[in-house]
A and B are shown apart, each in its own frame.
Chain A
Amino acid sequence: MSQNTDALLILAGLAAGPLIGGFVTGLDRIVTARCQSRIGPPLLQPFYDVAKLLSKEPLVVNIWQVFCAYAYLAAASISLVLFGLRSDLLLILFIQAVGAVFLVVGAYSSGSPFSQVGAHRELLQMLCYEPLLILVTVGIYLQTGSFRVPRVFAGEKPLLFHLPLLFLALLCALTIKLRKSPFDLSTSHHAHQELVKGLLTDYSGPFLALVEIGHWYEVVLMLGLCSLFWATSWEGMVALVGISYFLEILIDNTCARLNWRWMLTSVLAFGLTLSLFNLVWLSMH
């Protein structure tokens, strides 16, 4: 019985990534277009894009890049499946980080200067968001007494009331992870062209599609992390995720892109200070 439910959860996690991630991305593009007084693409546009990329001729710059695209997709999907199985948050974040590193290694394996600079910048972005994600899980541990997801659902009051500053730090990490302005330095989404496509310049055709699907898994994982902050009711989870994502889109459309020095100092100073205050406050209670 429990094996059956586990298998179902794994399948649900595998399917939820591309499905929810694709629809969220489509919605993102429509809302962004409306912010710019345009009509925007159809809701299914991300699926059209990925299907088209899958059917294109595979052009391989370096065979390692193909391996890295598959490894990134595998790591991203495994981390979401583990999240669906309500596993250990630290384990989930470490697997997610492995995927992100493979993406960078893939970009480094091609000779294009755009890829190289994009990979440098992606490493700097990881330097910014990884500590924040770890601190968020540490906050969850201090509050619930465990790194495991079910303990979050066992709480009586939403985590947001105990970890409000850590939630702000998580939003910072989310902006970087969703590749939103002002932090879309390494590669950018929609029709933006930072460093041509930066990190993704030499991924093309089916391999770009794999990276895109991997990104959808990561988007769902990050939104899942956000939803943990209101785990007491389903309505609260959906509302919190909706509000956070809408905030991200607003920030994306109102901010200019920053350089990496500004990102490094501002995100680390702002995020680390907020997290530390919250952690100290938690340990005092």
Chain B
Amino acid sequence: MAVMFKKIFARARSKSPWLLHFDCGSCNGCDIEVLACLTPVYDVERFGIINVGNPMHADVLLVTGTVNPRNKRVLRNLYEQMPHPKAVVAVGSCGLTGGIFREAYNVVGGVNKVIPVDVYVPGCPARPEAIIDGVIFAMKKLGEVKPCRER
């Protein structure tokens, strides 16, 4: 019985990732591609993905852009408000490493300098197909994580 419930929950988690999108100082190139995923052309709701505005409802944190000392704490705050199990997807060259801005005095670097990142989606800007692929990869990871109650 317990095994069955575990399977159902794991499957449900991989079928319904609710997405929180945080623009960490991106040039908006990646953000437009993220929003393009919601349009009829790409229609991410096919995978059960919903773009939510509330970190307490989110499963996947999608971060675009470089991290700087000002929005570092905002990013960490959002991450900490999300209930377990959760995954982080860094999108675009800037989110991965800081991109062409990595040498700038006000840039901390990639998202992984502040919070643990599960999936890296490269590109400048990242293609919508690549972003959907990254989120689905994160979904599979979510499906493998044990529910918090059993930990």
List the interface of chain A (C-beta within 8 A of B): 29, 33, 36-42, 45, 47-52, 54-59, 114, 190-191, 193, 196-197, 201-202, 204-205, 208
Contact = CB atoms under 8 A, between A and B. Distances in A.
Given A33-B43, A48-B11, A52-B12, 20 more contacts: A29-B45, A36-B40, A38-B43, A38-B45, A39-B45, A40-B46, A41-B46, A48-B16, A48-B48, A49-B12, A49-B48, A51-B12, A52-B9, A56-B84, A56-B148, A191-B50, A193-B51, A193-B53, A204-B56, A204-B57
Nearest to B83: A57
Given A54-B9, A202-B56, A42 B48 contact: yes
B74 to A, nearest CB: 16
B15 interface: yes
A51 B83 contact: no
Contacts of A193: 51-53
Contacts of A37: 40
B70 to A, nearest CB: 22
A117 to B, nearest CB: 14
B85 A49 contact: no
A196 B54 contact: yes
A159 to B, nearest CB: 38
B12 A201 contact: no
Nearest to A46: B16
A37 B41 CA distance: 9
A179 to B, nearest CB: 15
A25 to B, nearest CB: 13
Contacts of B147: 55-56
B94 to A, nearest CB: 25
B124 interface: no
A205 B83 contact: yes
A114 B15 CA distance: 28
Contact of B12 (A29, A38, A55, A204): A55
Nearest to B148: A57
Given A42-B48, A191-B38, A197 B57 contact: yes
Given A38-B40, A201-B56, A56 B85 contact: yes
A33 to B, nearest CB: 6
A29 B45 CA distance: 9
Interface in B45-91: 45-48, 50-54, 56-57, 59, 83-85
A61 to B, nearest CB: 8
Nearest to A191: B50
Contacts of A205: 56, 83
B83 A52 contact: no
B13 A55 contact: yes
A231 B149 CA distance: 46
Interface string B17-39: 00000000000000000000010
A190 B43 CA distance: 13
A37 B40 CA distance: 6
A55 B54 contact: no
Contacts of B57: 197, 204, 208
B48 to A, nearest CB: 5
Interface string B122-151: 000000000000000000000000011100
B114 interface: no
Contact of A52 (B16, B38, B46, B54): B16
Contacts of A51: 8-9, 11-12
6 contacts: A38-B46, A48-B16, A55-B149, A56-B85, A204-B57, A205-B56
A59 B45 contact: no
A191 B56 contact: no
A208 to B, nearest CB: 7
Contact of B54 (A49, A54, A197): A197
Counting chain A CB atoms within 10 Å of each CB, which of B50, B56, B84 scores highest? B56
Counting chain B CB atoms within 10 Å of each CB, which of A29, A45, A55, A208 scores highest? A55
A167 B57 CA distance: 36
A54 B47 CA distance: 19
